[in-house]
Each structure stands twice: as structure tokens, then as C-alpha cells.
């Protein structure tokens, strides 16, 4: 806390700042604005830089208010907070809400060139060029400098952040929190076309490794969840995304095969059983039975087939997509460390859908509505015929 006495005039403070109007608790020294903050260890106070010379007086007030009693009205952080309290946001799926909250934190805590946070910026000062530079910075990455931390190059993340910002600004315009949506008209980053689809050899090696480590007891060093191998088989054979594997239930099992539960507008279909699919499904059912009937555990079995999720965690509840992703990342990292595959052969769980569509005879098995998406998932090189017998070469023309 600062004392109540009046500040002394400091000739070193930038001339555009009215010193008598400076907020309490913020100070100027060596070309930067800073606050005093208790260190996490030892209780000593440290100086934390919050802005640089180009910062305006209004931004300094916004910074102090945000650090104190929440986001200042009119700032980007204020807009995010209001959107997350809205009925529009509460009506979204739980996973979507969690993703949006993560996007809001990344954007609000983005450090600008002058050292201030993007969340403390007044929404009406955000322009289309500001958003465009933001997208390009996240897409191309940025080395660390005096006022800004380093950022890795993440084109996909850049586009996710842009879409979230465009959504919240549109909501803000409708609700009267901002006058325009500068995120409209911004060009998205070009994402890498790498699907991280495994080669057939890498797929077989990792699948064998998953079966080997899944067979170990959970208290043995180097063991991994026993559901990973059957999940890989179903993701490949039924051409499913990770979230679609997580939401499989007994209702999706039919005598003829597995009825998919596809997302993102793809059409459902029925994948006929083969020996590997039957084995994978039965393994997950047996695993679920062991968990639900563990000694000392009383858990009612849902009557409706649609409520009996195939993939459950050790407590018996359905596995979340984030839990599956975390387990996969730990597993594939260990596979690389133990030389099962090389780092260059690393692939995502979603890459198994690409592998399944590429290997299959029916390229529409993934349920994609458009030809463009079918081609995106089909990596098989077409085999074509040379020109016919009446080719230009045989006619002697050049």
C-alpha cells in the first residue's frame, strides 16, 4: 500500500503523463512503470514491470484496477468476464466453455510491446491491424526481448484465438460493450497441412508397445493405461476422433458393427465388425466391468445403453477428452524415448483417423460431407494411366 502524501514531481516521467493523476501503487524508474509485489519465496518484495514509456495514463489506471479489484470497465478482460457470465456462454458444452476460458486467459495475459497486458487495453482502442498483428505473432512465434516473453510458432492456436476474439467482440457489439468488431476481416494464419498420420510401420510398432505396457500392473514402473491399445484400434478402424471414442456407449454397438457418433457435421455410419474391433470392444467392456464391480465399491449400472460409456476412468466415470489427450501425450513421448519410433515419426491420436481412411477402400467411410474433406483425410497417392494410344508422342507431334 502507498502512503497518502502527494507525489513529488519527477522530471524523468514521460511528458504526456499528468503526474498528479497517477494511480496509487504504480511507480516509474529506468524507463518502465512498475509495482511492488510480494515474492513467492521468503516474503521479500520485488519490482514487477507492468508498462513502458509509451503507456497512457488511462492504461496505467486500467492496470491498477485489474490488479486490484478485477478488470476495469471497457477493457478486453472486462468483455471476456461479461461474456463468460452470459446465457450464451452458459449454453455451450462444458468442453467448449473450458476451451474458451483458456483462450481468454491467453489473450488477456498477452504482453504487448510496452509491457502492458492485452487484457488491460480498452476494447474501443483495438483495431483490425492490432488483431492481425496478434494473429501473425502467435502464428510465426516471437523471440524473447526486454519487455516480452518468447512465444512458440502455433498457427492453429493463432486461429483458435482469433475465432474466440471475433466471437466475443460480436457478442459485445450486440450487448453494447463495444462499438465495432475489429476481428472481422482479419486473415487467418495458414496452418500446416501435417496431419501427423503415422506410417503403417509406426502404427504397428506403437500399437504393440501400447499392448505391452498396458498389460503391466499399474504400480509397475513404465506401465500405461490398458485402454490405450483398444482405443487406437477403434480410432483407426471406425475412423474416429478422440472425443468420439470417449463418447462411445453400449448404444453404439450393433450386431452388424459400430455406429459412429461423429462431430463437426460429418455423417454417422456403421462400420462392420472385424476381429480386431471385436477384441478391442470386448477389452473395454471387460475393463469397465472390473472397475464398476471392484470389491468394496457399490455402483449402480445405468439401465439405458446410451448411459453406459465404453471408456471409463479408474473411478468409474466416463473419461474426458483432456484425460485421454494427457495419457496419449505421456505414452507417445515414452515411445519416442524408448526408441519405438523416432521423433520425426511422432503422431497424434487423430492421425489414426487419417490412417484408417487412407488404408480403406471406401474413402467416404470417415463420414465427410464434402469432397475437399475426404481428400484432406485420404493420403493415398492415386495410380493413373499414361495417355492413350492416340497420344501426341505416337502421332509424332511435339
Rounded to whole angstroms, the Cα distance separating 130 from 137 reads 11
Reported confidence tier of residue 3, pLDDT bands at 50, 70, 90: very low
For 336-395, the pLDDT digits (tens) are 999 999 988 999 898 898 888 888 777 566 665 566 666 666 565 566 556 665 555 566
Listed by start position, the domains of the chain span 19-175, 200-377
The domain 200-377 is classified under which CATH number: 3.40.50.920, 1.10.443.10, 3.30.230.30, 1.10.760.10?
1.10.443.10
**What is the pLDDT, as a whole number, of residue 74?**
84
Percent of the chain's residues with pLDDT above 70: 83
Q: Would you tell me how many other CB atoms lie within 10 Å of the CB of residue 301? A: 10
For 99-142, the pLDDT digits (tens) are 899 999 999 989 888 778 898 888 989 999 999 999 999 999 98
174-177 long-range contacts (CB < 8 A, ≥24 apart) are 175/82, 175/86, 177/74, 177/78, 177/79, 177/82, 177/123
Amino acid at each position: 500500500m502507498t502512503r497518502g502524501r502527494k507525489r513529488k514531481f519527477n522530471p524523468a516521467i514521460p511528458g504526456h503523463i499528468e503526474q498528479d493523476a497517477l494511480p496509487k501503487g504504480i511507480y516509474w524508474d529506468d524507463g518502465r512503470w512498475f509495482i511492488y509485489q510480494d515474492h513467492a519465496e521468503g516474503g521479500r518484495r520485488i519490482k514487477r514491470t507492468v508498462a513502458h514509456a509509451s503507456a497512457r495514463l488511462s492504461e496505467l489506471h486500467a492496470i491498477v484496477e485489474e490488479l486490484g479489484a478485477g478488470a476495469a470497465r471497457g477493457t478486453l478482460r472486462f468483455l471476456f468476464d461479461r461474456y463468460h457470465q452470459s446465457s450464451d456462454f452458459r449454453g455451450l458444452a462444458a468442453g467448449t466453455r473450458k476451451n474458451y476460458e483458456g483462450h481468454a486467459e491467453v489473450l488477456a495475459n498477452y504482453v504487448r510491446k510496452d509491457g502492458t497486458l492485452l487484457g488491460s487495453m480498452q476494447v474501443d482502442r483495438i483495431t483490425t491491424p492490432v488483431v492481425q498483428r496478434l494473429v501473425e505473432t502467435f502464428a510465426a512465434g516471437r523471440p524473447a526481448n526486454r519487455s516480452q516473453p518468447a512465444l512458440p510458432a502455433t498457427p492453429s492456436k493463432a486461429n483458435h484465438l482469433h475465432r474466440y476474439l471475433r466471437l466475443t467482440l460480436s457478442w459485445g457489439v450486440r450487448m453494447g460493450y463495444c462499438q465495432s468488431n475489429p476481428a472481422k476481416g482479419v486473415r487467418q494464419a495458414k496452418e500446416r497441412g501435417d496431419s501427423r498420420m503415422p506410417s503403417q510401420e509406426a502404427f504397428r510398432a506403437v500399437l504393440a508397445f501400447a499392448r505391452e505396457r498396458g498389460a503391466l500392473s499399474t504400480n509397475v514402473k513404465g506401465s500405461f493405461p490398458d485402454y490405450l491399445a483398444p482405443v487406437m484400434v477403434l480410432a483407426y478402424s471406425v475412423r474416429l476422433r478422440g472425443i468420439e471414442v470417449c463418447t462411445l456407449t453400449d448404444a453404439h454397438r450393433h450386431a452388424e458393427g459400430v455406429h459412429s457418433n461423429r462431430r463437426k457435421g460429418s455423417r454417422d455410419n456403421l462400420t462392420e465388425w472385424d476381429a480386431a474391433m471385436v477384441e478391442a470392444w470386448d477389452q473395454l467392456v471387460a475393463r469397465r466391468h472390473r472397475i464398476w464391480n471392484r470389491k468394496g465399491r457399490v455402483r449402480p449400472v445405468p439401465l439405458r445403453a446410451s448411459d453406459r460409456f465404453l471408456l471409463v476412468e479408474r473411478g468409474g466415470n466416463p473419461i474426458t477428452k483432456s484425460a485421454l489427450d494427457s495419457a496419449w501425450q505421456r505414452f507417445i513421448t515414452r515411445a519416442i524415448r524408448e526408441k519405438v519410433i523416432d521423433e520425426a515419426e511422432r503422431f497424434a491420436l487423430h492421425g489414426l483417423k487419417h490412417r484408417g481412411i487412407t488404408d480403406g477402400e471406401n474413402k467416404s467411410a470417415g463420414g465427410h460431407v464434402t469432397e475437399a474433406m475426404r481428400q484432406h483425410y485420404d493420403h493415398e497417392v492415386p495410380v493413373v494411366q499414361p495417355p492413350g494410344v492416340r497420344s501426341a508422342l505416337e502421332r509424332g507431334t511435339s
